[in-house]
Homo-oligomer: A and B are copies of this chain.
């Protein structure tokens, strides 16, 4: 239906994972969930970087502008601690923000942990790409992706990106008529 290669960015933001102190289980979980959801042929563009404002900004711009990712998921750096800076770096590269993503992900995570309100995760549009901040923990990543993914293919249609086809056994995607 659509022959363009679909590139999706997976950006792990973590001082320790970027130094190899521990394995990037978060990025791997995003990849696994996307493999379950997507039937379109897609290509993962991955990177692991420290909690640095400049590095996150640079990588988000590179993934969207140069590496043609219509969709980028970040993981990590959304908490209240001094080093957490992913939402600020996301906001500065986006032309418009989508507050509903953060609201729904926090609402969803609140079903499991009251500390969900500490997450500052957000989402926004950069030109023809959607950037979504996910939490750091694999379990929360899956919960949040399940909550927001149903709206993502239509969002990418609206901003002029490729048509994502999904496995309806695993995720129920919605496109208004």
Contacts and interface: CB of A to CB of B under 8 A. Distances in A.
A108 to B, nearest CB: 11
A79 B158 contact: yes
Given A80-B155, A81-B158, A82-B160, A174 B114 contact: yes
Interface in A139-177: 148, 150-151, 154-155, 158-160, 172, 174-176
A98 B120 contact: yes
Please tell me the size bucket of the interface on A.
35 or more
Contacts of A79: 158
**Most chain-B CB neighbours within 10 Å: which of A97, A107, A151?**
A151
Interface string A12-48: 0000000000000000000000000000000000000
Given A82-B159, A159-B82, A101 B88 contact: no
Contacts of A96: 80, 84, 88, 120
Interface in A94-123: 96-104, 106-107, 110, 113-120
8 smallest beta-carbon distances between A and B, as pairs: A100-B117, A114-B150, A115-B151, A81-B158, A100-B106, A114-B174, A114-B151, A117-B151
Given A99-B120, A115-B175, A118-B155, 4 more contacts: A81-B158, A100-B116, A113-B174, A116-B151
